[in-house]
Amino acid sequence: MLRSCRALVMGLAAGLAGCAALLPRAEFATQETWKNYDSAKAAIDRIVPLESRRADLSTAGIDPGTNAAITILSFSDVVQRFAVGSSIRQEELDEGIRRCLTAGKTCTGYAINVRRTSRKRIGNFWLDSFNFHREVDITGWTFNALILFVDDVVVYTLHGGQPRLHEKEVTRNPLGPLQGWGGMVRPNPFE
């Protein structure tokens, strides 16, 4: 009897050791040309204001028709980004921005926003499954850039972002699966 109990305990321990692999994983990525922050930054750094043209950018993969991370900006979108007047005077702006703002409707732009993150649940499988304690490890990177054109010539570029993203999200529910039942048991009379 003792021998069979020991075998059962050892079997359960061995079976539960790999339970963390059963926890869900999720990945969020904008479908774009660049696989990491450095490649996105290098693509923007290769653009030469007053020399590079929209067609050059398209051949380099910076094309809103093929890259889902790119938003086309109209002149009114560009003006909203550079609200001149209250805190900054137009002469304090970069030369490329001034050229764009004075060009009127021929001033357009691209806004690039890329986010690639991976969410991996870590920790105890049973505590996570029954909603007592959940840990999520979030890693990845973000990149954003602004490219301004007058006609089809680039006049200004700017980029930024977060080359390395690493966060940990911890959720504790002392009542486990019963934690959210309060709203289901007693309905809201105002709904």
| Cα–Cα dist 106/151, whole Å | 5
Question: 123: burial class by Cβ within 10 Å (0-12, 13-18, 19+)?
Answer: middle
Q: Is residue 118 part of a domain?
A: yes
CB-CB neighbours of 180 under 10 Å: 10
Q: Is residue 174 part of a domain?
A: no
Q: Closest by alpha carbon to 78, among 56, 53, 99? A: 99
For residue 119, what are the domain limits?
Answer: 38-123
Q: Is residue 61 part of a domain?
A: yes
Residues of the chain with pLDDT under 50: 9, 12, 14, 16
Q: Is residue 106 part of a domain?
A: yes
pLDDT at position 14 is 47
* Contact in structure between 119 and 28 (CB atoms under 8 Å): yes
pLDDT at position 162 is 95
Q: Is residue 17 part of a domain?
A: no
Q: Is residue 64 part of a domain?
A: yes
pLDDT at position 164 is 95
| Cα–Cα dist 53/184, whole Å | 59
End-to-end CA distance of the chain: 59
> What is the total count of domains within the chain?
1
pLDDT at position 76 is 92
| Cα–Cα dist 137/124, whole Å | 13
CA distances from 44 to 102, 154, 159 (A): 24, 11, 7
Q: Is residue 181 part of a domain?
A: no
pLDDT at position 186 is 58
Q: Closest by alpha carbon to 154, among 103, 85, 82? A: 103
* Contact in structure between 159 and 143 (CB atoms under 8 Å): yes
pLDDT at position 139 is 92
Q: Is residue 89 part of a domain?
A: yes
